[in-house]
Structure 1
């Protein structure tokens, strides 16, 4: 459906019109066996329930279920899925040696208003046949999800597209991420620098620096992905459209005194909506 030689409509615009992530146009699929996908799905389920489990404990949990795999294979699955246990350790994410790493700016900082700090991360989402990756831009104070994208690769493109959409709705003073290569790339950080936004990155060995996005992923998976068991990329995109509308506008958060992210982010009461 995409015409790369179309001089009237750019490839990016064609992708927008049919709801396709641009990175998919250039993606050459790598065959992943059904057995590997099933293993990755189970690793994801165990990790989501016990986010403090590292590869050793996940391997032990799998073996107790009769799934005999080596620790190295569990580690490969976790790297592929972008999973990292929530406990202090030496290395939290896959860094690119040529990318600049920015300091963590939020230590002991009290976040007191919307659009003071935004944050992002990437997570693995299982499908009945295969998997995709999800990224989202989250306001720390209100927990409001400003934008999100899914992709079948972990290339930087879908992260940049989510960031650009969020910036169409406003601007934060600071932006926090981990030290993953997508977020340290010039393509991603350049967007923030051009907007004059201070860049903060999780410190190495500090697993709780971006804890709000980790909590978001747990909600997404337990309240939507695991229940719905989507068949394909198109179905999960349609499902997430509905879920994030619910999450922002109708899901009551205990940490927000049972208000919704929309009410907190925009300073309105339920009667005003």
Structure 2
């Protein structure tokens, strides 16, 4: 039967039929788009907001960020990460000047490094994470997990650094381990210039603070993990750092992961 015969049989106009057909195709496209957005949100465990989801979609299609935002809000797929903050303790012994001075922009790899220690109170015992981050691309280039927050702990992290260029700056807070003689001696031997935040000013080391906050928010807090085994805590941290360096895109890196950004620059 022709379309005209069908319309006569059903008692509808041809214009109504074609309008229905157009809407049907549009609704199918919307459902497909919703399915793709939902898949991306689940793959990244609801760590991404609509801007990053839009960036991923733009690799394969033309899409407006407002459309993505509307669909994510409708289905309650928004980013579920809630940042947590902590206070710092410890008295300085020998303090270096604040050479970094909140200038977190770096044009070359290994030019400016930042380091800090964060607590991991989720296992059978208190654990600590010491990490060093390269401000050039936000890559975590060294880290150590341990149950003692002593000088040997941070020296282990320091020893993981590759060969460094001249005038490399390593910035930390004024924690007692960073102001210790042993640490400052090791930094000097490596030819690194030390820089330290002002007392009680965590914003002076905002980049590494942000990374540690993301790590906890996108793993332990996101999955409501308050108590688990030490092994799971260590595995979770190691898997997240791999994800952070190799997979997790960053807006400031043109929606590339840290390692992809560095490789493309080379």
Q: TM-score, normalised by structure 1?
A: 0.60
The 3 A distance-change label for structure 1 pair 49 and 106 is same
Shift of 1:228: 7.3
* Match status 1:255 vs 2:240: no
Task: Pick which of 223-232 and 115-124 moved more.
Answer: 223-232
Shift of 1:196: 1.1
* Match status 1:170 vs 2:166: no
Q: Within 5 Å, which residues of 2 pair with 1:1-273?
A: 49=83, 51=85, 83-84=86-87, 93-96=89-92, 99-107=93-101, 109=103, 110-165=105-160, 167=161, 169-171=162-164, 173-226=168-221, 227=223, 229=225, 231-264=228-261, 266-268=262-264
Secondary structure of residue in 1 paired with 2:132: strand
**CA deviation string 1:27-74 (max 9, x = no partner):** xxxxxxxxxxxxxxxxxxxxx7453xxxxxxxxxxxxxxxxxxxxxxx
Q: Which residue of 2 aligns with 1:9?
A: none
Kept in 2, the 8 Å contact 1:93–1:179? The answer is no
Q: TM-score, normalised by structure 2?
A: 0.61
Shift of 1:225: 2.4
Secondary structure of residue in 1 paired with 2:98: coil
Kept in 2, the 8 Å contact 1:125–1:225? The answer is no
What is the aligned-residue RMSD (CA, Å)?
2.3
Question: Partners in 2 of 1:157 and 1:107 — Cα distance?
Answer: 27
Q: How many residues align?
A: 180
Kept in 1, the 8 Å contact 2:171–2:205? The answer is yes
Which residues of structure 1 form unaligned runs of 5+?
1-47, 52-82, 85-91
Structure with the greater alpha carbon radius of gyration: 2
Which residues of structure 2 form unaligned runs of 5+?
1-81
